[in-house]
Structure 1
């Protein structure tokens, strides 16, 4: 199957917000000389092709402020080209310059990559720009961008007269790609990880015999590329990274993210609230998998330890209020503190006096006077962790089956995604099923036997092993391992899951349940993920937005058409916390990352709204007006021909 794309106004607005920066620019390009030492000792001059900016700073500033007014954004004032204002420590053969930076903010799942790809083609058509570099923070995002360029190539080819375009992932073993990037007169798009060029020892910054003693970076610098940063909060978040971006000698820097940490010259904004109200993303339904009202035995969970200002521990315990109600709360305790007192004198905690706190990395824990101890992220007195995990898995499969019953006739493939914190819990070192895989298969077969799902049992007759699978990295010996998501070991993992994107959407593919290590928290998503299950510890660094981000996109059918039915596009999150905790955390994250304040009247709510204004003017009646008035009254029977009022007028 092939995914289909259509022109959407909000995406067009985002594209125009960038392209209109260059209003007044004539279509042109710059050339520069590349000297190559040939084998026959002959000197050959070849022209390189770069971007040329022909408008001045004043024009660009005026264009930017016009765009900001149009999109109801705060106007940039003062030093708008503040960009990179520190000395360059790398050797540069051309003068370092400050490149203006601009931000586009778009909620996850609304087509950020599509927008900046279309912007590339539009800037080429309007202004002749040909050299573009997309800088990414991780392997996952790099592979996602490359896959997006692949699946949109035919779409953009049809819209832009099949203009020649080459896109490639920078590979230090293929330096000739950089030379072609510099010399080609066509659209050239290089995708590169920030780690590939931010150190002086990177190959891209080393002189190469194949490049006549020049560095690959010098070739890039001469092209004056337009640099696109995907997820800048993870790319140029250090002085070294900012310096590396400046080293590219960009014509300008375009920053695309849903969660900007630095909002520099904001041109366009589509918030999570906007996306939801416009029906551009799935609705979210949270299924809570936590134990409530289990207050009849002492419950203690260790949430954190610290020795910054004396030893302290944050403990979650059941606290009794003055009115007798009991609720689960987090308290801060120091050595010697008695949980009997902290719990509101609940007898269940008698004897639980804090004896010691261990802050040793990897061994964080607390010990009580009665010799019981709790490790970080663990609990005593709670329900067996595996019982909760099994409940999450079962509820995910059940929600998956329920959607399949409704969506199969619509031609919609349903996928579920499980995040796990340890690969061994799904697949052991020798390749055998881990505890999560065993739980899944047991729950799957048990639910499939229900009469309610008889239709699914008839339809899905493939081997159990084909129904679910995991995407994990392997070491050189082929052993599956945990990784962060930005290492060389992740390459094959992401290549596989990205290459399978359309295949996963097809009914021909038997895979419906995907397990992945938590490193896959960014860079990959699939429009038909309808369930996200987080089989991770409470102390995980996963944010709520990362949990939902992998399944926010609107789903597609077997023809690749986007389905916009709100009743269909519902994402279920199987959370390991209460609904109130999840909702509160998600709302707080959105407020911190976007500036949107829930329940608070903000200026942005009113800017751009329209209203009707009636203006009353006092005016003296002249002779002409009087004649018109009398004529009207005669015509409508209010006045006799001789001027006397009629009964109607009285």
Structure 2
């Protein structure tokens, strides 16, 4: 088999985006890029020219300056959803860079052996086809400290060179590339310095995998790269983002498989798998409990550990920083009279019992493997008719459960295969060798250096190892070779990032905890569009039903659908600010699936003309300036701090004695209370530092506020409480002073008119139909308030049209961009002459009609609304801004008042 190279538009855009960054660069030749026998990459563009090119490319790809994170560094970020061919994209980009600019030196930097092997395999697979396209193909090789002659050739050659290397090959001073005292040095300098003289372009594949640590940045800098290109679907560090292919875009365009999440766990499996009631405290205070749960740290790692003491009403999600538990509010901590066992009941119906473990994990693994095989063999029969081989990937918790004297997971696999195989193979019972042949495995070391791969076993099974990492075509083909026969691939974590195979149709995670692999990375191993025996990709139409779909990935996680999807959506939201960017999922057992919903533009010409006139008035962009009166801030803050009243920091000791116990209850007797004033270990310096940190003010400004304040005694009574109140007061004054000095100015720019039909993958709660007066036949909505407002607007005869404003309509404010909700065009007769006129409104919907409703509005929301008032004033009288608005009728009444006031003038 030879996998065919396709020319895909989105890939060409990604390639061209990089090429355009160097637009205007003089082409490198032997004469202008060769110095002292070393051929290097030479950039003739100025810093300003490169910056202009980067901004132009980002803008051309609809990436705003804030999202792009434009910097002056020679780095580019290209973000492509897993499974959409980023490896091939950067290889073709290398060819184009040589073709356009004569750049010859490229280093592909990878974080692991698995990814390195995948890159080398891609280079080999498409070598002939790339040569057909470009008339040449770069010389590529894997760096090896035992073959330094290849490094020498890399440095000297005039022909384009690609060196593929892991970060580990040069990330410490004792590595051969860094050594200064060797007999085989290049020009008597360390090889790392010689490589640096070539000014290579460094392609960072999955840079979030350790390439941004302090040491890694230092070591990569020794390569003296002309530019660094970052390629990943899950960037942690973004610099000069010039191209972005989101999960949603990939899904919408049919560039990846559709995802099915298959749950096999029982009801309340959160209780059996994720929670454990470990301790109860039953004293004079309210009953409290400690629960073992999955805590998520700031860096994203998850640990199963005890909480602090919990009581009724506590939210487990907030206390563990884990979004999967956000609907776990403790309803009751109770001891059963019948069983004598303690339990904790949550408001979502989940109940856990004292000392209950995470359940019989082996039975859950058995169920996962059973359903994996059912899905696998069902798909195998269907796909085989189309010449497509079906593969499945299984992540396991530790290698010892597959390669050891008692391999639990392998034994379960064999047991399940014996019972299920015959059903899908005309009653044929598999032999032990048959079951062994369909398994392949790849294991690598864990971060803790624990046992992972048995060297003897790996040597004996080197053909299996090679089949997974090197023989992709064989793995995808039917036949009798080792690779041909493999159908199920087992991995610990090494295949969790970077490695993929187009014909992975099923993924299962067999862990007794959360999978340590990020959800987007985990499902990404099987997102690539499948290929048939001719090496051609086989696509589905967007209208195809799930029953007929070929490209469907089934994920069988070790958690419920709700938990899995919550984690996945939080990862999407972390990157894109919204969960709607993620790929769509269907659920086979419960829950409403999301649907592909089409939004059609209103064809009424009256509506369209009115909307165009409205947009012309609304689309003007503004910028702001702030004249901050620091002296006023200081004086107002002093006055505010002097109003603080603090109760003394103290401890109360209370005595209650039980007088009698009867059927009517317990009678106790109050014995008295003694209060003790306590001294806090705080100083004036602590006050200065914490106020400065909490308000963002400099030490000097903060010192001027607190020096000689009259409320210093209040601070001494309870420093933490005082600091909390003082910071809140100062921050409010900061906002008020910023707003006072805030001024908006019209710019020459406008928001684009981009309102064609579009498709979203959402459920029914995400939109409302607006067939009468909507600019579209449906409107996206984020809340029930928006839903009711849109329905009211659609039924109003005096409205010409309205729409939910697009997400790119952002108003800049000092505390971040603001996105108003609705734009409205209303027609109404003027009082003076009775003629009908159009009136334009922008509306912000909230759960209140009052800007002073502190319970319904956050301070930041109030401030952004007040900024928006100034923005719309700057636009002129054409557009009236109304905020906050709860009900449509309230808006209508306010709008009529404004219209009457305007027409009376």
Counterpart in 2 of 1:67? 57
Q: What aligned pairs does 1:16-27 form with structure 2 within 5 A after superposition?
A: 16-27=16-27
Q: What aligned pairs does 1:113-124 form with structure 2 within 5 A after superposition?
A: 113-124=87-98
Rounded Cα–Cα distance in structure 1 between residues aligned with 2:223 and 2:246 = 31
Match status 1:470 vs 2:614: no
For the Cα contact (< 8 Å) 2:206–2:498, is it kept in 1? no
Match status 1:506 vs 2:650: no
Rounded Cα–Cα distance in structure 1 between residues aligned with 2:269 and 2:227 = 58
Change (3 A) 1:155 1:6: same
Helix, strand or coil at the partner of 1:556: coil
Change (3 A) 1:394 1:192: same
For the Cα contact (< 8 Å) 1:110–1:280, is it kept in 2? yes
For residue 171 of structure 1, the aligned residue among 119, 144, 150 is 144
Rounded Cα–Cα distance in structure 1 between residues aligned with 2:387 and 2:413 = 25
Q: What aligned pairs does 1:560-599 form with structure 2 within 5 A after superposition?
A: 560-565=535-540, 567-598=549-580
Rounded Cα–Cα distance in structure 2 between residues aligned with 1:312 and 1:423 = 23
Q: What aligned pairs does 1:128-143 form with structure 2 within 5 A after superposition?
A: 128-143=102-117
Cα-to-partner distance string for 1:254-293 (whole Å, 9 max, x where unaligned): 1111111222111101011111111111111001122215
Rounded Cα–Cα distance in structure 1 between residues aligned with 2:174 and 2:511 = 38
Counterpart in 1 of 2:129? 155
440-449 or 126-135, which moves further after superposition? 440-449
How far the C-alpha of 1:458 sits from its partner, in A, is: 9.6
Counterpart in 2 of 1:365? none
How far the C-alpha of 1:331 sits from its partner, in A, is: 9.6
For the Cα contact (< 8 Å) 1:72–1:607, is it kept in 2? no
Helix, strand or coil at the partner of 1:441: helix
For the Cα contact (< 8 Å) 2:262–2:556, is it kept in 1? yes
For the Cα contact (< 8 Å) 1:65–1:76, is it kept in 2? no
Counterpart in 2 of 1:406? 382
How far the C-alpha of 1:461 sits from its partner, in A, is: 11
Query: RMSD between aligned alpha carbons?
Result: 4.1
Helix, strand or coil at the partner of 1:119: helix
For the Cα contact (< 8 Å) 1:557–1:563, is it kept in 2? yes
For residue 307 of structure 2, the aligned residue among 299, 310, 314 is 314
> How many pairs are equivalent?
533
Change (3 A) 1:214 1:502: same
Q: Give unmatched runs, 5+ long, in structure 1.
A: 35-46, 84-99, 322-327, 334-340, 355-367, 374-378, 614-650
TM-score by structure 1 length? Answer: 0.73
Match status 1:550 vs 2:540: no
Change (3 A) 1:253 1:279: same
TM-score by structure 2 length? Answer: 0.54
Rounded Cα–Cα distance in structure 2 between residues aligned with 1:525 and 1:224 = 31
Counterpart in 2 of 1:244? 219
Helix, strand or coil at the partner of 2:334: coil
Q: What aligned pairs does 1:243-642 form with structure 2 within 5 A after superposition?
A: 243-293=218-268, 300=277, 302-304=292-294, 313-314=306-307, 343-345=332-334, 347=336, 350=340, 352=342, 379-380=356-357, 383-429=359-405, 434-450=407-423, 453-455=424-426, 457=428, 463-472=434-443, 481-482=451-452, 496-508=467-479, 509-565=484-540, 567-598=549-580, 610-611=754-755
Counterpart in 2 of 1:209? 183
Counterpart in 2 of 1:93? none
Cα-to-partner distance string for 1:513-569 (whole Å, 9 max, x where unaligned): 111223321121111111101011224422222221111101110001001116111
How far the C-alpha of 1:222 sits from its partner, in A, is: 1.2
For the Cα contact (< 8 Å) 1:143–1:498, is it kept in 2? yes
Change (3 A) 1:596 1:159: farther
For the Cα contact (< 8 Å) 1:556–1:562, is it kept in 2? yes
Cα-to-partner distance string for 1:311-342 (whole Å, 9 max, x where unaligned): 9823999x999xxxxxx977969xxxxxxx97
Rounded Cα–Cα distance in structure 2 between residues aligned with 1:189 and 1:464 = 41
Change (3 A) 1:305 1:142: closer
Rounded Cα–Cα distance in structure 2 between residues aligned with 1:80 and 1:483 = 43
Rounded Cα–Cα distance in structure 1 between residues aligned with 2:375 and 2:427 = 13
Rounded Cα–Cα distance in structure 2 between residues aligned with 1:306 and 1:110 = 30
50-59 or 24-33, which moves further after superposition? 24-33
Rounded Cα–Cα distance in structure 2 between residues aligned with 1:77 and 1:112 = 20
For the Cα contact (< 8 Å) 2:402–2:410, is it kept in 1? yes
Rounded Cα–Cα distance in structure 1 between residues aligned with 2:370 and 2:538 = 27
Change (3 A) 1:3 1:58: same
Q: Which structure exhibits the higher relative contact order, with contacts defined as CA atoms closer than 8 Å and separated by 6 or more residues?
A: 1
Counterpart in 2 of 1:10? 10
Cα-to-partner distance string for 1:464-483 (whole Å, 9 max, x where unaligned): 211223223599xxxx9427
Rounded Cα–Cα distance in structure 1 between residues aligned with 2:520 and 2:196 = 37
Rounded Cα–Cα distance in structure 1 between residues aligned with 2:271 and 2:506 = 33
Rounded Cα–Cα distance in structure 1 between residues aligned with 2:148 and 2:269 = 63
Rounded Cα–Cα distance in structure 2 between residues aligned with 1:511 and 1:78 = 43
How far the C-alpha of 1:599 sits from its partner, in A, is: 9.3
For the Cα contact (< 8 Å) 1:31–1:50, is it kept in 2? yes
Helix, strand or coil at the partner of 1:592: helix
For the Cα contact (< 8 Å) 2:38–2:156, is it kept in 1? yes
Change (3 A) 1:172 1:294: closer
Rounded Cα–Cα distance in structure 1 between residues aligned with 2:42 and 2:530 = 41
For the Cα contact (< 8 Å) 2:509–2:515, is it kept in 1? no
Change (3 A) 1:190 1:294: closer
For the Cα contact (< 8 Å) 2:211–2:217, is it kept in 1? yes
Rounded Cα–Cα distance in structure 2 between residues aligned with 1:403 and 1:415 = 10
Match status 1:227 vs 2:202: yes
Cα-to-partner distance string for 1:355-413 (whole Å, 9 max, x where unaligned): xxxxxxxxxxxxx9x9x85xxxxx52x64211111000000000011111211110010
For the Cα contact (< 8 Å) 1:32–1:222, is it kept in 2? no
Change (3 A) 1:72 1:194: same
Helix, strand or coil at the partner of 1:232: coil
